């Protein structure tokens, strides 16, 4: 089992601990008290990270009362933590025999069956766990892990997508989800290539792969090849324009974006692309009207406000430029920093020194915060490489 999957298991294995405190009425008061005390000691041992002690204590509760489903359930969890998989499966199945609704039993049986290479049984129990609790992050995650590891990435995407919706910042979920979607995409394009090796879609894929590797000229060549085969595909011109923009070929980028807009009139993305490149090229007279349409269509702050503010400032429309740039400061990230910088320059130009100072201070503050975060990530990456990945494996 992968280290990340093991951490998922360790986190999930505490879900059912202390799930039951109701004791059988058939026992005497003294027997019930003893059973309750032993059961609680087992829970404490599990929480303290001593599954071997917990196993002994939970087994004792099942010996005290052979119908005590919680004892068998948590006995199975302790055995699962110890790697005693056949024993865990037997204990968890016994818990389900005694209580068909034993919380978490199907989830952990799914995990145990998966670890013993019984994927079909794992899927059955994980499906039951999801049916009982559709919003269980762990059940959806493990369903995705099982389907992914058994060569069914197309069946893994849905549960992993749902798990990501429920827990959007979970790194394990994001990892497995990314793997599933990448494998599905690769399989789709492999089939596409087999069906038509000369397809424009294959050229686009090659272009996108080249772009990811920062091989812009190769990407440009592939996009041009795709366009030759599919000259009416507007998205190809957008991606081609983006590649030209990255290389500084703004005139060619403008021509590509213009073709995109011609094919999709009224498309705000196409209008933004063409309007922003024209502002970059000093062609505000034709760029600003396009950006004004985009801002009106979107109705909320976007990067279009930043370029509109720049264009208006160049044209001397200072009040309108200020309003647009202020809207752009609400867009987090690089746009926000640039907008504050441009506001500072605008205030200087209009003889508003106090406002200029405040705007530039805001810009500096945001820039320094970004520099610190970038440095932190670089240091984390350096440490990870220096440790050969051990730092990741040691995380809880």
Radius of gyration of the chain (CA): 30
Given pLDDT bands bounded at 50, 70 and 90, which one contains residue 388? Answer: very low
pLDDT digits (tens, 9 = 90+) for 267-302: 999 999 999 999 999 999 999 999 999 999 999 999
Pick from 192, 210, 191, 209: which is nearest to 201 by CA? 192
Q: Which of 53, 67, 60 is nearest to 22 (CA)?
A: 67
- Residue 343 to residue 346: CA distance in whole angstroms: 5
pLDDT digits (tens, 9 = 90+) for 32-90: 788 889 999 989 999 999 999 999 999 999 999 999 999 999 999 999 898 899 999 99
- The CA-to-CA distance between both ends of the chain, in Å, stands at 15
| Residue located via tokens 């009139």 | 265
Position 218 scores a pLDDT of: 95
**Structural domains present in the chain:** 3-191 (1.25.40.10), 290-295+302-381 (1.25.40.10)
- Summarize the confidence of residues 127-145 as an average pLDDT: 95
Give per-residue pLDDT as tens, 21-35.
444 445 677 887 888
């Amino acid at each position: 089992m992968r280290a990340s999957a093991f951490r998922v298991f360790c986190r999930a294995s505490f879900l059912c601990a202390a799930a039951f405190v109701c004791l059988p009425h058939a026992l005497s008061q003294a027997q019930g008290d003893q059973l309750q005390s032993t059961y609680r000691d087992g829970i404490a041992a599990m929480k303290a990270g001593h599954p071997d002690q917990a196993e002994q204590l939970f087994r004792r509760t099942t010996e005290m009362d052979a119908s005590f489903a919680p004892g068998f359930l948590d006995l199975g969890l302790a055995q699962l933590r110890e790697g005693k998989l056949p024993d865990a499966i037997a204990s968890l199945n016994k818990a389900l025999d005694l209580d068909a609704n034993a919380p978490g039993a199907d989830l952990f049986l799914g995990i145990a069956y998966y670890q013993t290479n019984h994927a079909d049984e794992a899927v059955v129990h994980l499906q039951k766990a999801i049916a009982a609790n559709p919003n269980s992050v762990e059940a959806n995650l493990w369903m995705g892990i099982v389907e992914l590891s058994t060569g069914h990435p197309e069946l893994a995407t849905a549960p992993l997508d749902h798990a990501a919706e429920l827990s959007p910042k979970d790194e394990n979920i994001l990892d497995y989800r990314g793997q599933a979607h990448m494998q599905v995409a690769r399989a789709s394009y492999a089939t596409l290539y087999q069906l038509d090796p000369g397809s424009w879609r294959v050229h686009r894929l090659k272009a996108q792969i080249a772009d990811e590797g920062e091989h812009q000229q190769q990407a440009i060549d592939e996009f041009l090849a795709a366009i030759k085969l599919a000259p009416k595909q507007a998205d190809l011109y957008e991606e081609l324009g983006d590649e030209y923009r990255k290389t500084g070929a703004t005139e060619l980028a403008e021509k590509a974006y213009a073709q995109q807009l011609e094919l999709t009139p009224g498309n705000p993305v196409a209008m933004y692309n063409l309007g922003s490149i024209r502002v970059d090229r000093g062609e505000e007279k034709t760029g600003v009207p396009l950006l004004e349409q985009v801002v009106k269509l979107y109705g909320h702050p976007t990067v279009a406000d930043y370029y509109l503010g720049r264009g208006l400032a160049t044209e001397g429309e200072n009040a309108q430029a200020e309003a647009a740039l202020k809207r752009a400061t609400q867009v987090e990230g690089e746009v926000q920093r640039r907008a504050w910088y441009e506001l500072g320059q605008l205030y200087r130009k209009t003889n508003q020194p106090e406002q200029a100072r405040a705007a530039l201070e805001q810009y500096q503050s945001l820039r320094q915060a970004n520099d610190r975060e970038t440095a932190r990530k670089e240091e984390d990456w350096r440490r990870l490489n220096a440790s050969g990945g051990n730092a990741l494996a040691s995380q809880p």
